[in-house]
Amino acid sequence: MTSAFGLLCRLVVLAVSFAVGAAQAQEWPKQQPIKILVGFAAGGGNDVFARLVGQKLTEKLGQSVVIENRTGAGSIIAFDATARAAADGYTLLIAPFGATIVNPAVYAKLPYDPAQLLPLSIVASFPFVLVVRSDAGINSVVDLVAAAKAQPDKANYGIPSVTFQLLGEQLKQRTGAPFEHIPFRGTNEVLAAMLSGQLLMSFVDPGPLLGHLKGGRVKALAHSGSTRFPLLPDVPTMEEVGFKGVSMDSFMGFMAQRALPEAIAKRLESEFIAMAKDKEFADKILHHGLVPVGSTSKEFADRIAREAPMWKEVATRAKIQLQ
């Protein structure tokens, strides 16, 4: 009798929860503007991308979308705020690769549980490009590794964040070359230091790099993606040049609070997928060095589950742990 009553209570709770979720989904997004939380400052790559997405969502949903920059701690503040937000579809989070995959790998403790966040879709992706000065006399990754081993005191590279450091450490672990990182505040500073002769090489994101490549002062040896990058079709992947296992397909995704009603989550997933297929939107983000993807929520979640342990292992071997 007690067991039957307990089962009945659970069924009632489930029914009520479903009814509440359905009601919320029916009203959404009519009630208020949608916020997209960005963990970085206005004007940066994440912010620009969020604004392009926000503009498209506004057109499709008929509701205004506002960008809210919650800067600090490599996007941890924005992730924490989203984990604590109401699960009503009015708070979305731009979830870049570094904050989604790398932060749990390198931070001893996070203020939120990543399981509190629901992956919605990977909207765009991009590789990191391995570059050297054009006058360095280095024409391949093999040359670079040889130069680093011949002159270990000059085997350095610049990093604007720990994500780049992990990729550099992956190359170091794969080749045995004595690469050492030097921190900088951004990719433009890294490129400036390389051009002034302070750095041997660096992995950099495509957006800030393209102008320098056209100017001919830097040379791209390979990139970290799994396939050729449309904006640099002549630059091979690391695997293509014989360095299998040195790979990082970075991305720009979107997340929400885990308890988001399924109907709203599915609607957002479908909007992100459609957005990635929209030629006008795809052309805009390609201009910023991003390739449209449009994954499902499950594909995004599967990728996190697959890659998080791998990068945790790289960080552990490199003894990288942040507080």
Q: Which residues of 255-271 are buried (b: 16+ CB within 10 A; e: fewer)?
A: bbbbebbebbbebbbeb
Q: Is the pLDDT of residue 127 over 90?
A: yes
What confidence tens digit (pLDDT) does each residue in 241-288 have?
999 999 999 999 999 999 999 999 999 999 999 999 999 999 999 999
Per-residue confidence (pLDDT) for residue 24, from 0 to 100: 56
Per-residue confidence (pLDDT) for residue 27, from 0 to 100: 86
Q: Counting runs of H as helices and runs of E as strands, what totals does the chain give?
A: 12, 11
Q: Is the pLDDT of residue 177 over 90?
A: yes
Q: Is the pLDDT of residue 9 over 90?
A: no
Backbone angles phi, psi at 273, to 5 degrees: -65, -45
Write out the two tokens for 304. Answer: 């996190």
Q: Is the pLDDT of residue 131 over 60?
A: yes
The yes-or-no answer to whether 29-126+250-317 and 129-223 have a common fold is yes
- Cβ pair 238, 130 in contact under 8 A: yes
CATH architecture type of domain 129-223? 3-Layer(aba) Sandwich (3.40)
Residue with tokens 């989904």: 25
Per-residue confidence (pLDDT) for residue 4, from 0 to 100: 53
What confidence tens digit (pLDDT) does each residue in 85-101 have?
999 999 999 999 999 99
What confidence tens digit (pLDDT) does each residue in 46-103 have?
999 999 999 999 999 999 999 999 998 889 999 999 999 999 999 999 999 999 999 9
**β-strand pairing of 91-96 with 34-38:** parallel
Interhelix angle 262-277/279-287, rounded to 10 degrees, is: 70
- DSSP code of residue 40: S
Q: Is the pLDDT of residue 233 over 70?
A: yes
User: Does the structural domain 29-126+250-317 have CATH classification 3.40.640.10?
Assistant: no
Gyration radius (Cα) of the chain, Å: 22
Write out the two tokens for 100. Answer: 């989604």
Task: Write down the domain spans for the chain.
Answer: 29-126+250-317, 129-223
Place 200 in a pLDDT band, splitting at 50, 70 and 90. very high
